[in-house]
A = this chain, B = another copy of it.
Amino acid sequence: MAAPRRATLATLPSPADFAPPPDTATRRRWREADRASRPDRVRRLRERMADEGVDAYFGVRTEHMRWLTGLVMAEGEEKVAGHSGQFLVGAGDLVVMTDSRYTEQARREATESTVKEIGYDLAHAWPTLAARVGARRIGVEAAAVSHALWRRLEVAAPEVELVPADGWIEAMRGVKEPGEVERIAAACAVADRALAALLPEIRVGITEHELALRLEWLMRTAGAESLAFNVACLAGPEAALPHGSPGDRPVLRDAVLLFDFGAQLEGYRSDMTRTLFVGEPSARDLELYDLVARAQQASIDTIRASVAEATSGVPLLTGRTADAAARDVIGEAGLGDRFGHGTGHGIGLATHENPPSLSRTAADEPLCSPSVFSVEPGVYLPGETGVRIEDLIHLDAGRGVVERLTAFPREVLALPA
């Protein structure tokens, strides 16, 4: 095994190594770009509706709502928002539903939509809404709408047929506009800077919870409007939990310290995992680190090779192929069963998007482009240790681009205990 590259204290990353948060003018430009794009997004959805033979589309996902209408609903808000923000797209109209709590906000943000205050009982309003957009056959986000609501709508307007319409907007959102990629990159930079700023505070004995809270604070006071997801900070054997939560466990000497975290900026998310060392890494941990780093590089190299070929007309690789490239490296080391999750997921207004998906069960079709996705192989030894390395990759086959948006170094970083 080749010794992994290793940072010295003198070469520790510093916040100034990474791009600063966007200024007000940049943020305004992004919002204007969205406003300019929304009519085309709705037009393309209507094309899909026509192709699928439905007269209308009923959507409930908050990311779709934001992308199509401009209405912003914070993560989790949908749990108390009732039907507010849910929307119905007809051939000539886009109606955003609200109850009185959200009407004012919707009028302000969803400026190109018709805001209709329907209260708390969608089924009651459903026949009128369907008639308003002239719909006899409505595509419905069946993977997000509850079975109970689906049944209530069927009963409320038996003459209106409901058709599952999952993945339509997801497919459109998988292909990123330039302003979307810029915002993901800006969110990545916020996270890069925050981890760099945290490094001097990491020491044996401080708890996972303290570090997670501090990292969150560093992101949210320097450009992030919120987190992309709860910060994972896992020390030593805890790193074997691919979705563990930080606890009152102290950072251990000569063991791994795994951070999986992301920022949200103007709605767009970042996602990065770094497995650091505090004290002297063990030979076993270094070996795992090297293995995971090689697996990640193998996937990225495979993607890069495919993009090079794509310029001469060869179709882009599938998410299964990109997954297999990483998985094979770990499998060859005899640790295939210690890498249970997929290699990567799309990201944007949601932290996990599909397409694209890099996994054994991904669609058997070329990765979409331009797109942004994670590449994050890991190896987990329960009760012992875990290593994951995750970066976000921006793929733009048309321009021959395969670039890392997460800029924080990936080399072995051993901090003083």
Does A168 lie at the interface of the complex (its beta carbon under 8 Å from any beta carbon of B)? no
Q: Are A340 and B99 in contact (CB under 8 A)?
A: yes
User: What DSSP secondary structure best describes chain A's contact surface?
Assistant: loop
Q: Say yes or no: A100-B213 contact (C-beta < 8 A), given A81-B243, A105-B241, A164-B148.
A: no
Could you tell me the distance in whole angstroms from the C-beta of A152 to the nearest C-beta in chain B? 10
Contacts of A147 in B (CB 8 A): 140, 142-143, 145-147, 149-150, 164
Number of copies: 2
Q: Are B352 and A101 in contact (CB under 8 A)?
A: no
Contacts of A230 in B (CB 8 A): 74, 76-77, 226
Q: Are A243 and B77 in contact (CB under 8 A)?
A: yes
Does A102 lie at the interface of the complex (its beta carbon under 8 Å from any beta carbon of B)? yes
Does A75 lie at the interface of the complex (its beta carbon under 8 Å from any beta carbon of B)? yes
Does A245 lie at the interface of the complex (its beta carbon under 8 Å from any beta carbon of B)? yes
Q: Are A340 and B146 in contact (CB under 8 A)?
A: no
Could you tell me the distance in whole angstroms from the C-beta of A167 to the nearest C-beta in chain B? 10
Q: Are A166 and B142 in contact (CB under 8 A)?
A: no
- Alpha-carbon distance between A407 and B318 when the two chains are bound, in angstroms: 58
Q: Are A340 and B79 in contact (CB under 8 A)?
A: no
Does A244 lie at the interface of the complex (its beta carbon under 8 Å from any beta carbon of B)? yes
Contacts of A126 in B (CB 8 A): none
Tell me the chain A residues, 132-185 only, with Cβ under 8 Å from chain B: 140, 142-151, 164, 166
Q: 10 pairs across A/B with beta carbons < 8 Å?
A: A74-B230, A80-B229, A100-B242, A101-B242, A101-B243, A105-B243, A142-B151, A143-B148, A147-B147, A147-B164
A-side residues, CB < 8 A to B, are: 72, 74-77, 79-81, 84, 99-102, 104-105, 120-121, 140, 142-151, 164, 166, 213, 217, 220-221, 226, 229-230, 240-245, 340-341, 350-352, 361, 382
A-B CB proximity, top 6 nearest: A100-B340, A101-B242, A147-B150, A143-B148, A142-B148, A142-B147
